[in-house]
Structure 1
């Protein structure tokens, strides 16, 4: 399908908008992923910080408890090193744990409870160690065996386990969300890339098509330029042919219109002569009569009778016949003149239907004569002047009926198809009485007829057909043999606009 300049602009804008939409989608997805990554990274860092603080605090409690047990079992002060280290680090580490849960009210409450628990645990450890240092080892062991310290440590461990598990889950959730974001970005990038590739490909294809059309147009222009001289020569030949037709028409008009005038002049002379005889008779009707005079009077009376009853009516009849002929010729000329001035109106035409209508107009005459009308071929769709085509085919079919052979039933065959150079060719074939070879061109001349003149007409039908065919960018020709039938071939432009535009 040809691409116009407007279509190229629209396609280019559309492709640019699609490409921009794809880029915006990719950029939007990347911005969203960056934000999600930032949120997930913050959650991940926070969860890991919480986890590390909890594990460290739990380790301090375990180290302090291990140091206490070692000292109580061995009474060796070296075992107090882990306890002393844990005791010194506990307050700061506990502050870190609480700070990590400041933005989580529920966890902050539990962290405060953990501080109380761990403080009580360290107080219990310190009490037992101090009793042992003072030689009250049994009292210290009694406090240990009371399981108060174990209960505090179990409570602390339960908090540590829940908090660490929650931090681990937060880490896993952040990693999963980040992975989903990466997958989404991958798909958006992939689909966006496909759209951009499609946009680029579509743009390239559109530009290539438009460029190819430009190249073809330039090639056609070059061909037209190269063919311009030939077309000018053809137009010159057409003008020459038209000039010849005008000259021939002028000759025919002057010749054929002169003949009735000569007849009128001749019979007018006869009327004058006859009028003289009547005048002589009337003028001498009152003269004296005698023997010789009576004989002369009788001769004049006979001459007057002949003039009144034979010569004058005959002359008047010929004059009337000549004037009727002249009137018919003048009317025919006026008809051709009006048809030549008519404006052609191109319209879409169903040639099959038009031919069927033309055939139906004469079918009853053909059927009455025992014949038939057949339409063959596949008439193409065309753009032409309907009235011109109706007159052309109506005239040809009327002639086929008018000049049919009396010895056989009439057979009319119409065949339509596509001709060379975007033209339409229609053949109208009949088995009528035919046309002699020397009359094949003569029948297309104005007021010229072929064969016996046993049918009414002025001899303008086929001249009119050729004129109309040439008006719609075509011509008409005939192939015929006397006694076997005729085939008229009409060629005309399939698109009348090309003919009107070339005029």
Structure 2
């Protein structure tokens, strides 16, 4: 069947438009999945913190009770040390529980009940210890034998169960919702990939109608297509088996999205190879004797098809960068953290050293206001966090003045705060939160990047049980502030309880 060059061009452009729409739909779905995963991580973090605080409260009450009993039995004041330490920490733990339950009326009622029970228990412990100190041992033991303290502890345990059980139910609900999202995303990825394959196949079929040389390219593409279909099938099976692995959810979806993209790239390469063969063949033939259809074919090969292939290349390159960004973010969620003692002074000196040459070329000075406090955390995550912040600070320097970057740190009770301050071009107030979102950037887009760096930083910091914020004034500079616990405690670790 013969087709004019204008028909070929029109059909090719329609197919390219359809492929672009399919890629856009896949990108939107990927963003939705990433946002769902972020919301789940925030909820899981709150529930985990609530569980840890509840267990800490119970442990503190038990420690206080053990110290009281030891003192009553031995009259040795050394036993009062764990009692005094636990008694002093109960109020802050209850305050932490109340903070985590803020906004949930049922949880706040339970926390209030726990506060009353804890106050009653502490009062009972303090009364017995005071009697013992006054030499009234029998009266002190008589209070213990009433069982009032045991009853208060039992009530506290039941209240803690009332706090944790609804949280578990909420987690089950979220897991069910995410499982449904996994099924939807699987269908979208498969249907989108199939649609793109059909579009590319149609474009190849049109090209083959003009030259026998492209028939060889079609056979090579078909062979590649068979191999890719098998790989897509294998990856689809892996996706179905991994639906329950929530931490790897975004990684698997992004991985499967790469399969149709690779297919598009493969077809594009074959089209380019075939087009080169056709162009070479046409160049060997004299153009003087061309009929109108041959002239149209020559124009399509020289102008229309290279433009169409360039459009495909641009779209697939953008899609590849976006998928790589999603993969980088999701891989971090699946990595197991390894807390270890970390000297922040040494870590940041090494990080700054890797940027010295680049900073020197841009007339930028980097200073560390040491000594910096040390902590127990995941070394690799810290290196990635501060590496990203330093890279951003250098990237967005103001060329109108010499650059200055300062790194500071201070200890605040059981948490540490680190700051990376620069005198760069700054960030508008309305973008202070927006820059931490995936694929979002601020200001003039005159620097390379995909909008993943600060989203990656926030994900890492939150996994380290910390928080990151920014203060910035356009034209003056920015201060990125990171708060981290002095000692990172993994969510899987349970506080020890005495019998």
TM-score (norm 1): 0.47
Answer 1 or 2: higher relative contact order, Cα 8 Å, separation at least 6. 2
Query: Whose helix proportion is higher, 1 or 2?
Result: 1
Tell me the TM-score normalised to structure 2 length.
0.47
